[in-house]
């Protein structure tokens, strides 16, 4: 064998040896990775490292005061990545994640303190200077995560995600799993944002009938909190003749009723609520407007735990009153003319009753 052939054989042998060594190393790493993936300590450390990485990537620094209206928005992928990561966490991990978010990415207290001291120093200056420092101080009190929440609301499914996230915050607080002031501040910030996004001018009043989609009828049944729906016949009766069912919906949460109100149109004031809830004689009847003398608001249910504290119920009642006033004007004329009579008092009692059930 010539020296050339010996060199070629040696090179081939060396290449083969290196290839096998690399394969063994990769396989070894994979085995180590698989063995440690489910090891409690390793898993916890990996999750916490992932949390830190996601938060650093998705929570952008607060722009300077001068650049607050000029900074480009972060990519939509940041919001989607945050949402996907949060949904993948277990309950306890979600608590840890939100505590990290609220504690590490909240208000810059040192910056706010410096501006507060500066505001005190400018009290003897002209009004324009004082107002500018006040505006800077107000901006410095904005938590870093507020920008992230705002950007999440702009992606598909983002508003519903934030409503569910606030439901988690409320659950953690009510179950005493977390009593952190930073978590309370996160909850307060999110509630403020949701109150803006769900203002009454942005809500759509929708009447639910038996012709509504099966999906929304099923949700109406599931969300009923005052008088549970027993079966499909029951829900058919509650949206049928001599009954009205109304719901507020929002463009960012299509097909999702936010708060639902049930009304019974009756000839006389009922003696008890069960007479309204369990009345089946109206199921296949033809509605006769001449037999409608009273409108009894007998049930209201808030469907989204994350919207707790956001004013929706009162506005829905007022809107439904206006709708019924157009449809059955004689009921409300009677109430206006006979404000001291039993009819007016009963309607007020019914509204008070359902409001108490709604807010409890």
Separation CA 231–CA 178 (nearest Å):
39
Check whether residue 92 and residue 209 sit in a common domain: no
Task: Please state, rounded to an integer, the average pLDDT across all residues of the chain.
Answer: 80
Residue range(s) defining the domain that contains residue 328: 203-359
Q: What is the DSSP letter of 177?
A: S
Burial label for 115, CB within 10 Å (0-12, 13-18, 19+), is buried
Q: Is the dihedral of CA 65, 66, 67, 70 positive or negative?
A: positive
Check whether residue 167 and residue 214 sit in a common domain: no
* Residue 230 resides in a domain: yes
Domain boundary among 197, 219, 243: 197
* Residue 125 resides in a domain: no
* Arithmetic mean of pLDDT, 286-315: 89
Q: What is the DSSP letter of 122?
A: T
Check whether residue 172 and residue 315 sit in a common domain: no
* Residue 120 resides in a domain: no
* Residue 127 resides in a domain: no
Separation CA 66–CA 63 (nearest Å):
8
Separation CA 286–CA 241 (nearest Å):
7
Check whether residue 159 and residue 235 sit in a common domain: no
Predicted TM-score of the model (pTM) = 0.76
Who has greater pLDDT, 190 or 73?
Answer: 190
Q: Is the dihedral of CA 294, 299, 304, 309 positive or negative?
A: positive
Q: Residue 230, SS3?
A: coil
* Residue 77 resides in a domain: yes
Lowest mean pLDDT among 142-146, 203-207, 269-273: 269-273
Structural domain total, the chain? 3
pLDDT tens digits, 116-168: 999 999 988 899 999 999 999 999 999 999 999 999 999 999 999 999 999 99
Check whether residue 260 and residue 165 sit in a common domain: no
Q: What is the CATH number of the domain that holds 157?
A: 1.20.140.90
Q: Would you say residue 31 has pLDDT above 70? A: no
pLDDT of residue 290: 83
Who has greater pLDDT, 121 or 278?
Answer: 121
User: How many Cβ atoms sit within 10 Å of the Cβ of residue 335?
Assistant: 18
Check whether residue 353 and residue 308 sit in a common domain: yes
Check whether residue 278 and residue 188 sit in a common domain: no
Q: Would you say residue 72 has pLDDT above 50? A: yes
pLDDT tens digits, 315-346: 999 999 998 888 877 555 444 443 433 433 34
pLDDT of residue 340: 38
Check whether residue 213 and residue 247 sit in a common domain: yes
Check whether residue 209 and residue 353 sit in a common domain: yes
Quick check: 214 and 235 in contact, CB under 8 A? no
pLDDT of residue 38: 45
pLDDT tens digits, 217-267: 999 999 888 888 888 888 888 898 889 999 999 999 998 999 999 999 888
Q: What is the CATH number of the domain that holds 290?
A: 3.40.630.150
Check whether residue 163 and residue 295 sit in a common domain: no
Check whether residue 225 and residue 239 sit in a common domain: yes
* Residue 283 resides in a domain: yes
> What distance separates the 2 farthest-apart alpha carbons in the chain?
120
Check whether residue 189 and residue 49 sit in a common domain: yes
């Amino acid at each position: 064998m010539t020296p050339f052939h010996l060199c070629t054989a040696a090179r081939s042998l060396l290449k083969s040896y290196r290839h096998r060594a690399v394969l063994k190393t990769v396989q070894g790493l994979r085995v180590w990775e698989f063995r440690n993936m489910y090891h409690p300590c390793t898993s916890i450390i990996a999750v916490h490292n992932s949390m830190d990485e996601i938060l650093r990537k998705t929570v952008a620094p607060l722009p300077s005061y001068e650049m607050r209206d000029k900074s480009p928005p972060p990519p939509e992928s940041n919001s989607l990545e945050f949402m996907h990561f949060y949904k993948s966490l277990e309950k306890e991990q979600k608590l840890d994640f939100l505590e990290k978010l609220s504690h590490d990415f909240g208000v810059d207290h040192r910056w706010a303190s410096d501006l507060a001291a500066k505001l005190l120093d400018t009290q003897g200056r002209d009004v324009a200077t004082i107002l500018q420092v006040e505006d800077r101080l107000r901006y410095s009190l904005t938590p870093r995560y507020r920008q992230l929440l705002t950007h999440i609301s702009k992606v598909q499914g983002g508003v519903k995600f934030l409503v569910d996230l606030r439901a988690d915050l409320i659950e953690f607080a009510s179950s005493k799993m977390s009593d952190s002031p930073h978590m309370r501040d996160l909850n307060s910030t999110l509630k403020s944002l949701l109150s803006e996004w769900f203002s009454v001018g942005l809500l759509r009043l929708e009447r639910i009938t038996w012709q509504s989609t099966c999906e929304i009828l099923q949700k109406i049944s599931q969300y009923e909190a005052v008088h549970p729906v027993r079966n499909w016949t029951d829900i058919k009766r509650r949206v049928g003749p001599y009954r009205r069912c109304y719901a507020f919906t929002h463009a960012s949460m299509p097909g999702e009723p936010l708060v639902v109100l049930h009304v019974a149109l009756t000839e006389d004031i009922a003696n008890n609520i069960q007479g309204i809830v369990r009345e089946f004689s109206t199921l296949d009847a033809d509605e006769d407007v001449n037999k409608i003398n009273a409108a009894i608001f007998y049930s209201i249910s808030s469907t989204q735990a994350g919207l707790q504290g956001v004013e929706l119920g009162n506005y829905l009642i007022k809107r439904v009153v206006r709708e019924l006033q157009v449809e059955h004007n004689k009921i409300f004329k009677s109430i206006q003319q006979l404000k001291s009579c039993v009819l007016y008092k009963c309607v007020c009692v019914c509204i008070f009753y359902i409001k108490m059930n709604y807010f409890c």
